[in-house]
Amino acid sequence: MSAVATQPETVRHEAVEPVATVEGFSLSLVRDGARTEVLHDVDLVIRPGEVLGLVGESGSGKSVLALSLLGLLPQASRPQSTGTVSVTGVDMVAADEATRRRVRRDALGAIFQDPMTSLNPTMRVGRQLREVTHDDDESVRLLETVGVRDATLRLRVYPHELSGGLRQRVMAAIAVAGRPRLVVADEPTTALDVTVQAQLLDLLRELRDDFGCSVLLITHDLAVADQIADRLAVMYRGELVEVGPAAQVVRAPQHDYTRSLLASRLSLGSPRDERFAAPGADAPAAVVVEGARREFGTRRRGQTVAAVDGVDLRIAAGEALAVVGESGSGKSTLLRMIAGLDRPTSGTVEVVGGGGAQMVFQDAGSSLTPWLTVGETLAERLRGRRLPRADVRARVEDALAVVGLGPEVARARPAQLSGGQRQRVALARATIVPPSVLLCDEPTSALDAALAKSVLALIRDLRARFGMTVVFVTHDLAVARLMGDRIAVMSAGRVVEVGPPDQVIDDPQHDYTRSLLAAVPELVGRTEGAA
């Protein structure tokens, strides 16, 4: 294709003509009634056949850049731009809709974070594939290429009948069906478990190798990008702060922001907190779980599934237990039973001693009542004590101070706070009257790396301050290692392995633990690919 044959051959790259070029691109959008600049003077070249990792925290503008490349900027936000974003020589911001659609069809493929919302829920997979392949045999071939087994059968199912990983594979099949020059993958693995994430990343690289297309992999996780990217681009507040070969960016970052991004990443090698000593074997128990089983009815009558399938655990007072598992392993159900929000079908779950259990939820935003102010929410836990108003206020402000928030936050409503602030408020609610057991259900999985790290540090501080027992549920082994005196690995409703972090990570006993460990993305700094 030689749509831009007249472009001067610059000395920057070899004579290879880039698939996409972003030049001096600035973009402003209208958000909440105010025009804000979301991209500032971005220069980026995507070469044929390369995997380019675009890394940045939420709100850094990386997804907007992807939408610009796809020519899908939301018109409702009234985009205004300077500079160019061209794909195969067509300006995807300035060109008319018909031209952009043609480029999307002929040269672009896209994979988004949530395949459930990007696939049409009312159409069978086969029909959605046929829209791009026009032929069922071709669809089957494609599905097999992206690693879907029993592809012929899968054509007949609806998206909701597939697992998250399979849905994302179907999206990938649709994305590469038209033999695109460039596949834009926006956080394609964020909603997936680590083992599935590893498979999907492999798949993206294979697609590059088999189809020769370029891949723009957008992610907030440096290590994920580093797994397969030839080059990395780091984005911060709408600007590209660093672009370079993956190995160079990871090993010798030039920009402060890249360095802080690398520093905030938790890995299996991060230093652990030395404050806590594992309690001795004779320590009194705080939580005792014996033969706990929780069944849920399925849609078919009389049939049940055991979310938790016979779990025995004894958590000592003052101990921190990290429960690790993938989605559907039963870890959240176990936590809810300890909290008393759910009851075991058989067996017992007991919180020993007074003080009770308090819980911090995964999505702090929805765990706070939206129309109550933070102060009102926190004061609810003090209601039983009939304190005078001034005392309540003082205790609320103290609790906020403990989690690193100022007294003015008491007057704010949850919608006015950032994700990190909300999670701090949730922690303040749990600890305003210190509980004997603090339950955490993936409290940091929705937060950016730096924020997550500070919230994890806060939870450890609270534990040290109040001497609470902590049960911390997570899908991330690195987080579990940091937070737990012991790690319990759950799979299919059972605890398959329990032990101190070093033992579980250095010498895993169970196959499942091993596969979980193997799938954890670690920064390696690969050298540039064969391109």
Partner 1 sequence: MSTTFVPRARLRPGTVSGLDIARPVNLALVGVLVLVTLVAALARVLAPYDPIQPVGPLNLPPFSPGHLLGTDSIGRDLLSRTLVGVQSSWFSALAVVAVGLVVGGTVGVVAGASGGRVDAVLMRVTDLFLALPGALVAIAIVAALGPGLTHTLVGVVIVWWPYYARILRGEVKALAARPHVEAARLVGTGRFRLLSRHLLPGVVPTAIVTASLDVGNVVLLLAGLSFLGLGQQAPAPELGADTSRALSQLLSQWWVPGIPGLAVLVLTLVANLGGDAIRNLVSGRR
Q: Which residues bind partner 1 (CB under 8 A)?
A: 30, 32-33, 339-341, 357-359, 361, 363, 366-372, 380-381, 383-384, 404-406, 408-409, 411-413, 416-418, 420-421, 424, 426, 429, 451, 454, 457
Q: Which is nearer to partner 1, 112 or 361 (CB)?
A: 361
Place of tokens 């935003």: 365
| Buried b or exposed e, range 27-64, using 16+ CB within 10 angstroms | bbbeeeeeeeebbeebebbbbebbbbbbbbbeebbbbb
Q: Could you say which DSSP state residue 331 is in?
A: H
Place of tokens 């990871």: 250
Give the orientation angle of helix 419-431 with respect to helix 449-466, to 10 degrees.
Answer: 10
Least Å distance, CB 361 to partner 1, is 5
Which residues on neighbouring strands pair with residue 233, listed in sequence order? 54, 243
Q: Which is nearer to partner 1, 78 or 102 (CB)?
A: 78
Q: Which is nearer to partner 1, 80 or 152 (CB)?
A: 80
Least Å distance, CB 77 to partner 1, is 10
Q: Which is nearer to partner 1, 148 or 374 (CB)?
A: 374
Q: Do residues 447 and 455 lie in contact, with contact meaning Cβ atoms separated by under 8 Å?
A: yes
* CA separation for the pair 71, 101 (Å, rounded): 8
Least Å distance, CB 252 to partner 1, is 26
Least Å distance, CB 297 to partner 1, is 16
Structure tokens at 167: 């849905």
**Element of type H or E holding 25:** strand 20-31
Least Å distance, CB 15 to partner 1, is 48
Q: Which is nearer to partner 1, 272 or 413 (CB)?
A: 413
* CA separation for the pair 479, 279 (Å, rounded): 20
Q: Which is nearer to partner 1, 52 or 452 (CB)?
A: 452
* CA separation for the pair 357, 344 (Å, rounded): 17
Least Å distance, CB 192 to partner 1, is 22
Question: In one letter, which amino acid is 170?
Answer: V
* CA separation for the pair 457, 464 (Å, rounded): 11
Structure tokens at 372: 């109550």
Angle at 75 between CA 70 and CA 79, to 5 degrees: 80
Least Å distance, CB 266 to partner 1, is 15
> In 415-493, at which residue ranges do the beta strands (DSSP E only) sit?
437-441, 469-474, 486-491
Least Å distance, CB 404 to partner 1, is 4
Least Å distance, CB 31 to partner 1, is 10
Among residues 345, 355, 358, 326, the alpha carbon closest in space to that of 489 is found at: 326
Give the orientation angle of helix 256-264 with respect to helix 449-466, to 10 degrees.
Answer: 50
Q: Which is nearer to partner 1, 7 or 270 (CB)?
A: 270
Least Å distance, CB 338 to partner 1, is 11
Q: Which is nearer to partner 1, 91 or 397 (CB)?
A: 397
